[in-house]
Amino acid sequence: MFQPPQAYLAKLENKEVFNSKFTRLDFELESPHEMQFQAGQYVSIQINDQGERRSYSISSSPGIAHGFEILLDVAPMGLGVTFLQNLKFGDQIKILGPLGRFGWDETDPTITLIATGSGLGPLRSLVLDLLQEKKLSRPIILYWGLRHAEDLIYQDEFQQLSTAFPNFKFHPVLSQSPNEWSLCRGRVTDCLSIHDLMPNSGYYLCGNQTMIADVITVLTQRGVAAEKIHHEKFY
């Protein structure tokens, strides 16, 4: 059940710069001390004294209620990213959350997650929740589209999850892959086109609007009903 949003104070607890593209920020909630969120939800962060806000999906598990993580694509360097990049350890932020209804449908016999770039964030939250918290045994398939191999993150985590939970499969897709790359090449739609897609699966998309439109086209051409396709724009 989705909880009504409320105002929180949080402080920057940790920061991990994965590479030139992605940074993870960990926030500890200070007041109130816990936030009951659902996997796939997001928070609205105040980024200046004028009250401007930006929305970011939560990338961590709902099993950790005393804080949350967000995954940043630092390349755009807009107002929100600049504000968050300049935070120092212990700095406070004002947030409103949890927000959004990008949750999974419990009737889905199979769950297919499709992301590009930092759209991985809310889908990682879903994967952690469904596997580690809910111990879901039905098939869960994650496709993640990127340009370069050096942009890949969370590989070890997803490999460990696929070993611990055989129902979980992870398919990284590179549009500019090196010659030795043996997995999916091209765009996520290229990878989807060569895989068996179940029409009754639930499909959860997060990424840029072009990707979402292209994936919806592929899915509908393969017989997936519109009500089985869900997408999120905050990531």
pLDDT in tens, 172-224: 999 888 788 878 888 999 888 888 888 889 999 999 899 999 999 999 999 99
Residues of each domain in the chain carrying CATH 3.40.50.80: 111-232
Which residue has 């892959």 as its token pair? 177
Q: Percent of the chain having pLDDT more than 90?
A: 82
Beta-carbon contacts of residue 186 (< 8 Å; ≥ 6 apart)? 173, 175
- CA within 13 Å, CB half, 177: 15
Please check whether residue 5 is in contact with residue 99, taking contact to mean a CB–CB distance below 8 angstroms. Answer: yes
pLDDT in tens, 99-145: 998 889 999 999 999 999 999 999 999 999 999 999 999 999 999 99
Q: According to the model, what pLDDT value does residue 86 have?
A: 95
Amino acid at 40: G
Superfamily name and number for 6-99? Translation factors (2.40.30.10)
User: Phi and psi of 128, rounded to 5°?
Assistant: -60, -40
Which residue has 């519109």 as its token pair? 226
Which of 3.30.70.1070, 3.40.50.720, 3.40.50.300, 3.40.50.80 is the CATH number of 111-232? Answer: 3.40.50.80
Q: According to the model, what pLDDT value does residue 234 have?
A: 59
Please check whether residue 134 is in contact with residue 125, taking contact to mean a CB–CB distance below 8 angstroms. Answer: no
Which residue has 């072009």 as its token pair? 210
